[in-house]
């Protein structure tokens, strides 16, 4: 984590390179109402942040000819990462078409997320005790911490040196530096809307000047420096969510990756294999302490802002429902379902909602590779019937959620966010009808599949296909026996949060 957090004399930086930065700023004032500032859109970037895209690129090319810039843009379409900021400012090199993310931009809804600007950001971050007794002011101070944590985490995970966060009226700029082998996070004073564009332009100039060293590879966490008054209620807006039963909480309490595995964070472990990636969650296969694991990451602060149909309460309920099901099936872990390891905080606001053992290939991956035999199909039906006999309705019997284990030929089921237990039904016959319907859904999935000769599947490579063929989601297929061959491995774990 950073050696310390310091104040950044950003006004001096702006004065020092004002002539270069002003070239990137629209000369005439741009008046925008709150209703017109859709911060996550690229159109808002063009309207507010500076010159139109082509003009911005022309200015950057003139200022930094050595960078051979082909393209410059702001994007929110970021893939294969556990956390997604609202936007990244990115440039493309003309020689090799490489994309370089330069600035993380995290922007909050105007008039909804209020910041405490009566104190400097560094003062708020260094406060060991609550900075205000008034609930509104206290929440405003917490908002500063949470948003700063969020922005910093995105900078770390994307290996970016510069970042900013704002609620439109108030702006803060950040830089990561390595000083005496320790990471230091520099944070600017609060800045108003009147100089925000010049501040952003200054950040662009600084990022372009340090392009060769822009990838800040130091991996840090400031969670350990967050005081208790901020950590309270770290997962927001979960009021009214179903409380997990006491035996479940005792068996699988919320913990941290450092406490559970002895490493800083799973999202910082390399190498890894991406198994699933969506707006709501990110799933990876990785090795830790000699264990072959699958970890599902959820950004509890960022995911709801990217998914209008998903709330923090949904994420909370899905997580605990899956934990409850694994606890219910605890005597069958490793045989009918993977072994559940832990769940809890991974890196700042990034949580691992389920860490399990990796058991093999999804049936969707086998189907894509032409390796789904009738024998494996029968094993999938048998394991689902056994799951029902134990009193569990899976809730999503897509082939991606059925895992074939080559060592013994068993099929195990994963992703239980939408599962229900027999005890959840008022009448037993309702459970039976649901179980019969779910088995029928599985039969429909495998029925159209041409029977294959009975043989032991072997790993093969196949290109990813996003088309939905025979209601089965196509996935990548690759060598499942080693993490040394990361590229092209199976996209075998997706969930309702996927």
* Residue 286, pLDDT score: 96
Sheet of strand 282-288: strand arrangement: 255-256, 340-347, 350-357, 291-299, 282-288, 272-277
Do 16 and 150 share a structural domain? Answer: yes
Do 206 and 70 belong together in one domain? yes
For position 226, what pLDDT does the model report?
A: 61
> What is the domain count for the chain?
3
- Helix axis angle for 196-209 and 53-63, nearest 10°, is 50
Three-class DSSP category at 134: coil
* Structural domain containing residue 395: 361-473
Question: Locate tokens 């741009």: which residue?
Answer: 30
What pLDDT is stored for residue 266 in this prediction? 94
Q: Are residues 55 and 190 in the same domain?
A: yes
480 found inside a domain: no
For residue 384, is it within any domain? yes
Together in a domain, 282 and 192? no
Residue at token pair 């929440």? 139
pLDDT of residue 400: 92
Local mean pLDDT, 10-residue blocks, the chain (498 residues): 79 87 63 44 54 70 81 73 81 82 85 89 85 86 89 88 90 90 90 84 88 60 62 50 81 91 91 87 94 94 74 88 96 97 89 95 93 95 97 96 96 95 89 96 83 47 33 33 35 40
Residue 365 lies in a domain: yes
SS3 336: coil
Token pair recorded at residue 295: 């970890």
Q: Which pair of tokens denotes residue 16?
A: 């020092």
- Whether 311 and 240 have beta carbons less than 8 Å apart is answered as no
Contact 47, 32 (CB under 8 A): yes
Q: Is residue 98 part of a domain?
A: yes
| Sign of the four-CA dihedral 341, 343, 344, 345 | positive
352 and 369 both lie in a single domain? no
d(CA 425, CA 190): 54
Looking at the structure, do residues 206 and 83 belong to the same domain, yes or no? yes
- Verify that 136 and 223 share a domain, yes or no: yes
Question: Considering the domain boundaries, does residue 238 fall inside one?
Answer: no
In a domain, 240, yes or no: no
Q: Are residues 54 and 194 in the same domain?
A: yes
Indicate if 212 and 195 belong to the same structural domain.
yes
What CATH number did the domain enclosing 277 receive? Answer: 3.30.200.20
pLDDT at 252: 92
């Amino acid at each position: 984590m950073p050696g310390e957090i310091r104040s950044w004399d950003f006004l001096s930086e702006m004065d020092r390179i004002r002539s270069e930065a002003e070239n990137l700023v629209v000369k005439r004032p741009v008046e925008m109402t709150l209703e017109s500032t859709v911060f996550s859109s690229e159109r808002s970037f063009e309207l507010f942040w500076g010159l139109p895209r082509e003009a911005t690129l022309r200015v950057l090319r003139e200022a930094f000819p050595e960078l051979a810039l082909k393209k410059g843009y702001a994007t929110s379409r970021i893939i294969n990462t556990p956390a997604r900021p609202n936007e990244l400012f990115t440039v493309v090199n003309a020689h090799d078409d490489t994309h370089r993310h330069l600035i993380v931009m995290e922007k909050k809804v105007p008039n909804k997320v209020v910041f405490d600007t009566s104190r400097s950001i560094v003062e708020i971050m260094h406060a060991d005790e609550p900075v205000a007794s008034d609930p509104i002011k206290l929440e405003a101070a917490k908002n500063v911490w949470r948003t700063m944590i969020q922005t910093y985490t995105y900078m770390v995970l994307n290996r970016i040196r510069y970042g900013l966060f704002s609620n439109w009226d108030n702006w803060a700029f950040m830089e990561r530096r390595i000083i005496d082998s320790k990471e230091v996070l520099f944070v600017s004073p609060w800045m108003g809307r009147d100089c925000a564009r010049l501040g952003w332009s200054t950040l662009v100039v600084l990022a372009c000047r340090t392009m060769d060293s822009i990838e800040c590879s130091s991996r840090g966490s400031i969670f350990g420096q967050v005081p208790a008054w901020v950590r309270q209620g770290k997962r927001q807006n979960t009021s009214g969510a179903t409380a997990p039963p006491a035996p479940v909480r005792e068996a699988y309490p919320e913990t941290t990756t450092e406490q559970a595995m002895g490493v800083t964070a799973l999202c910082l472990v390399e190498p890894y294999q991406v198994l699933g990636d969506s707006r709501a969650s990110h799933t990876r296969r990785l090795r830790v302490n000699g264990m072959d694991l699958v970890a599902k990451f959820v950004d509890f602060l960022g995911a709801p802002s990217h998914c209008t149909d998903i709330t923090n309460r949904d994420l909370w309920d899905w997580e605990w429902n899956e934990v409850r099901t694994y606890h219910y099936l605890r005597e069958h872990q490793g045989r009918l379902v993977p072994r559940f390891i832990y769940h809890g905080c991974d890196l700042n606001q990034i949580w691992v909602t389920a860490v399990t053992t990796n058991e093999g290939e999804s049936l969707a991956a086998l189907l894509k590779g032409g390796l789904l035999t009738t024998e494996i199909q029968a094993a999938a039906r048998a394991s689902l019937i056994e799951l029902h006999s134990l009193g569990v309705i899976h809730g999503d019997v897509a082939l991606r959620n059925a895992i074939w284990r080559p060592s013994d030929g068993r099929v195990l089921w994963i992703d239980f966010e939408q599962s229900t237990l027999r005890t959840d039904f008022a009448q037993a016959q309702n459970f039976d009808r649901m179980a019969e319907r779910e088995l029928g859904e599985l039969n429909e999935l495998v029925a159209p599949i041409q029977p294959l000769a009975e043989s032991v599947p072997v790993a093969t490579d196949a290109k990813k296909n996003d088309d939905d063929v025979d209601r089965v989601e196509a996935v990548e297929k690759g060598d499942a026996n080693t993490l040394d061959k990361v590229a092209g491995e199976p996209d075998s774990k997706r969930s309702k949060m996927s």
